[in-house]
Structure 1
């Protein structure tokens, strides 16, 4: 328990320091890629922090846990406030920066529908909520029907991906903006979180 609390404290400190460092960033460094990268890092740290908090509540003796500085000082609540403040700051900054135009890519030789014809309800994949035992089925279906669909660009793939996630899995990438560059990052986050061989049986 002590090791997990120390890790939680470290994550909390890293989130707070990240916000401070962003405030110090020179104006010439503030680009969409830079802000998006910081937002992605923030979401990943917050997801780890929430998971660690959940493990503490599930595994630790309540009497012992209630006496720790982690609960006495309300580390979770204070970290959540910093997260929400920093995320809002990043999103506000993004809203002031020029949008990037992504050229649609359509493979006319593909048997899949073109970009203008693609509709989410036409591709039937069970939604994934974060249950480790359901990850392999979801991953294989998504890869087969969307990830490898050459008529889709990464913006569309990410839109589909966000639409098929619920619960903890949706929270993991909820605040990552939909863009061409962010699709691979979101997919990587999901694979890192749910490709747990001991739980999923792969």
Structure 2
């Protein structure tokens, strides 16, 4: 947290940027404490033989050191005392706080669903610098089911495996020919109208619009290609 804040440059180290990092740091620490309690309750005897106790102590010391430095930054930037709630609690805008939580997309391995899943997952998770690679891989695994899940199911959740997992999925589903075939197969499998009604015409029309949008998403718009 501290190093990343310094990398932004002195001119960009604002009270808001500092408080945002304090917020994230506290969030990660609470998550660590929660998992720490789970481990102690389930594996108390096993942990006595493991170097986990040393590791958890190091994490706590690192957290205290990082938070202390960030609070010092806040004190210098705002002129408020260190125990001020303003230096420890990030302020969220009313508009952001009132928005509903965005649910992660789910992907089961259908080719036509890959472009929308890819773009949304990258926007919500992959491009968020505040999320570690371990967490990104956890979110990725939690967002997969069916055949897609089987592709990376055996990968352990480590920082190094996140890139491998994403490349594995991209290598299979970033197949332009397969994506086009999937879109057109879905379109030609739309059931015929059962009656001369506006609802049946609307159903077929929506199927056509969905296919057109899917082809646009993979760079093969119907007005510019022969697919």
- The TM-score range, normalised by the shorter chain, is 0.3 to 0.5
Q: TM-score by structure 2 length?
A: 0.38
For CA contacts below 8 A with separation 6 or more, give which structure has more relative contact order: 1
Instruction: Give TM-score, length-normalised by structure 1.
Output: 0.42
